[in-house]
């Protein structure tokens, strides 16, 4: 569970997130909002990539300010652009990267790699150079690279923006099948229709927070 | 040239990377010591003969030197003009042979295996303050992102072309630099997020 206590984030004079207090406990949480409303900043707070200017973020009691490394071990982060988060030249090497950093054994790395490649129908791509993958394959690899590290919580910042309809559905299915708590930042309102909770952010404040059936129509009215 | 590993199970694939790299360095040295054109031709043919043995096609061999063809021709013309036909042929062939030889290693060795064995070699330099893990991460990142940068360069060029700016070095270099810096930021966040201990 993640707790935000009176969290504000400012860049210079500009306040991007304004005094948020939230308990995030649901299994599927979506964060929506206009461009520049502060969604990515919000997401980055949750694994300590960004620190609050004032207030605290606690992940299972760990303060992101002091326990950044432990928090990042618990909270996997999928970025919007897969190109910049695939860091190794070959598919299987990239999958191994995070696991190596966490000190997984060679045998463990090999079996987890097999398993995730099979799960996403990518077994043929094991030795494929990462830069030759299609956009959808890159996104799935980026997500896989995070999932093999078995995080307790997965935060995704617009994981489907680059994808065609088929790959969007693949990612949606992949996410639906996860046991972990998932927090998704997205503009894709179809993706989150069956989520447990939707938080709409507008200009750094919570504009609406609740079930998709209430929040999404309110958000659509705001955007109209 | 950076298209690296071509999967296979040939003898060359199975040799330890360190052995291949040493053999390549030895071969390269011999190529450079040798001054005769006939021997260079013979060496090139031997190297080419290794391609099928490594389950590679001659087409793949040609693909390795193709990006450099223009440079080869330029070299050849200059050498011919200053030093005569034979020397020109010798110089260019030697260069081509070298690239074919080096590519033979990269085509039959997974980059991870190559980096692993390099990392092991670098351990001997640890007392001098070299951090093998960091060097190997740097090499991996270079292998990973050179093609990405090449792709971005193409995109920027195309974008500037529609505005008639593709010949302006600044109009291409500036957006490229900005994107590269932004990219570096994101990469470093991604590496942090995946548990890397710096
Ligand atoms: N490192 C930074 N330095 C200065 N300003 C920043 C920084 N990061 C974000 N901002 C600003 O904070 C505001 C919110 O940015 P953020 O990326 O969180 O928005 P977003 O909701 O994710 O938008 P989008 O939908 O376009 O991704 C923007 O105005 C942005 O310019
Ligand atoms: Mg964003």
Q: Could you write out the DSSP letters of every residue in A49-99?
A: SS--SEEEEEETTEETTT-HHHHHHHEEEE-S-GGGT--SSBHHHHHHHHH
Supply the pLDDT for residue A74: 95
- The answer to whether residues B119 and B132 touch, using CB atoms and an 8 Å cutoff, is yes
Supply the pLDDT for residue A14: 94
- β-bridge pairing A28-33 and A181-185: parallel
Q: In this complex, which of B112, B190, B192 lies closest to A93 when CB atoms are compared?
A: B112
Q: Say if B155 falls within a structural domain.
A: yes
Band of pLDDT at residue B134, cut at 50, 70 and 90 = confident
Locate the ligand 1 atom nearest the alpha carbon of residue A39 and give its number: 21
Supply the pLDDT for residue A218: 95
Domains of chain A are 2-223 (3.40.50.300)
What mean pLDDT, rounded, does chain B reach? 89
The tally of domains found in chain B comes to: 2
For B152, the closest chain A residue by CA position comes to A83
Number of neighbours of residue B1 by Cβ within 10 angstroms: 13
- In three-state secondary structure terms, B113 is helix
Protein residue with its CA nearest to atom 5 in ligand 1: A11
- β-bridge pairing A54-59 and A28-33: unpaired
% chain B with pLDDT above 90:
49
Is 0.95 exceeded by the ipTM?
no
The average pLDDT across A179-203 equals 94
A16 lines ligand 1 (CB under 6 A): yes
Q: Are residues B29 and B97 located together in one domain of the fold?
A: yes
Supply the pLDDT for residue B3: 53
A49–B194: do the CB atoms touch at under 8 Å? no
Distance CA A58, CA A6 (A): 12
Locate the ligand 1 atom nearest the alpha carbon of residue A34 and give its number: 25
- The answer to whether residues A154 and A146 touch, using CB atoms and an 8 Å cutoff, is yes
Rg (CA), chain B: 21
For A80, the closest chain B residue by CA position comes to B186
Protein residue with its CA nearest to atom 4 in ligand 1: A11
pLDDT in tens, B70-121: 889 999 999 999 999 999 999 999 999 999 999 999 899 887 788 888 888 8
Last residue of a domain, one of B65, B80, B109: B109
Query: How far, in Å, is the centroid of ligand 2 from the Cα of A10?
Result: 16
Tokens of B172: 């291409």
Tokens of A90: 């070959």
Band of pLDDT at residue B1, cut at 50, 70 and 90 = very low
What mean pLDDT, rounded, does chain A reach? 93
pLDDT in tens, A41-84: 999 999 999 999 999 999 999 999 999 999 999 999 999 899 99
pTM of the model: 0.80
Does the structure show a pLDDT above 90 at A87? Answer: yes
Q: Are residues B22 and B101 located together in one domain of the fold?
A: yes
- The answer to whether residues B18 and B61 touch, using CB atoms and an 8 Å cutoff, is no
The average pLDDT across A183-199 equals 94
Chains A and B form CB pairs within 8 A to the count of 80
Supply the pLDDT for residue B93: 94
Q: Are residues B91 and B26 located together in one domain of the fold?
A: yes
pLDDT in tens, A17-26: 999 999 999 9
The average pLDDT across A124-129 equals 90
A36 lines ligand 1 (CB under 6 A): yes
Q: Say if B100 falls within a structural domain.
A: yes
Does the structure show a pLDDT above 50 at B192? Answer: yes
Does the structure show a pLDDT above 60 at B2? Answer: no
Q: Are residues B149 and B69 located together in one domain of the fold?
A: no
Last residue of a domain, one of B109, B138, B155: B109
Q: Say if B30 falls within a structural domain.
A: yes
pLDDT in tens, B42-72: 999 999 999 999 999 999 999 988 888 888 9
Query: How far, in Å, is the centroid of ligand 1 from the Cα of A40?
Result: 7
Q: Are residues B104 and B132 located together in one domain of the fold?
A: no
Helices (H), chain A: 39-46, 68-74, 91-101, 106-119, 135-147, 165-176, 212-223
Distance CA A130, CA A133 (A): 6
Q: Are residues B102 and B128 located together in one domain of the fold?
A: no
What is the residue range of B72's domain? 11-109
Q: Say if B117 falls within a structural domain.
A: no
Last residue of a domain, one of B109, B144, B177: B109
């Amino acid at each position: 569970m993640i707790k935000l206590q009176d969290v504000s984030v400012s860049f210079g004079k500009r306040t991007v997130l304004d005094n948020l207090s939230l308990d995030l406990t649901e299994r599927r949480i979506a964060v929506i909002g206009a461009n520049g409303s502060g969604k990515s900043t919000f997401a980055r707070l949750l694994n300590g990539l960004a620190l609050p200017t004032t207030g605290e973020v606690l992940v299972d009691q760990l303060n992101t300010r002091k326990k950044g490394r432990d928090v990042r071990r618990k909270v996997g982060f999928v970025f919007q652009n897969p190109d910049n988060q695939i860091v190794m030249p070959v598919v299987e090497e990239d999958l191994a990267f995070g696991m190596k950093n966490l000190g997984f054994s060679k045998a463990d790395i090999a079996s987890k790699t097999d398993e995730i490649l099979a799960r996403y129908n990518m077994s043929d791509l094991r030795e494929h150079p990462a830069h030759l993958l299609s956009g959808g394959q890159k996104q799935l690899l980026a997500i896989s690279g995070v999932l093999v590290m078995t995080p307790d919580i997965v935060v995704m910042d617009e994981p489907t923006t680059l994808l065609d309809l088929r790959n969007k559905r693949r990612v949606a299915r992949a996410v639906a099948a996860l046991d972990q708590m998932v927090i998704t930042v997205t503009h894709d309102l179809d993706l989150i229709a069956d989520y447990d909770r939707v938080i709409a952010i507008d200009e750094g404040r919570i504009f609406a927070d609740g079930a998709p059936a209430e929040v999404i129509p309110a958000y659509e009215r705001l955007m109209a | 040239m950076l298209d690296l590993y071509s999967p296979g199970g040939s003898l060359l694939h199975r040799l330890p990377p360190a052995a291949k790299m040493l053999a390549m360095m030895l071969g390269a040295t011999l190529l450079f010591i040798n001054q005769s054109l006939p021997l260079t031709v013979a060496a090139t043919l031997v190297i080419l003969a290794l391609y099928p043995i490594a389950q590679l096609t001659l087409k793949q061999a040609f693909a390795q030197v193709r990006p450099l063809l223009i440079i080869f021709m330029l070299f050849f013309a200059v050498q011919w003009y200053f030093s005569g036909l034979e020397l020109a042929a010798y110089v260019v062939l030697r260069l081509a042979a070298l690239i074919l030889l080096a590519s033979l290693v990269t085509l039959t060795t997974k980059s991870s295996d190559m980096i692993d064995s390099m990392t092991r070699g670098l351990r001997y330099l640890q007392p001098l303050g070299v951090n093998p893990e960091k060097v190997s991460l740097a090499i991996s990142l270079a292998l990973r992102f050179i093609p990405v940068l090449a792709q971005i360069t193409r995109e920027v060029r195309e974008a500037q072309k529609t505005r008639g700016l593709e010949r302006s070095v600044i109009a291409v270099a500036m957006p490229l630099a900005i994107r590269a810096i932004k990219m570096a930021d994101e990469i470093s966040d991604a590496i942090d997020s995946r548990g890397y201990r710096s």
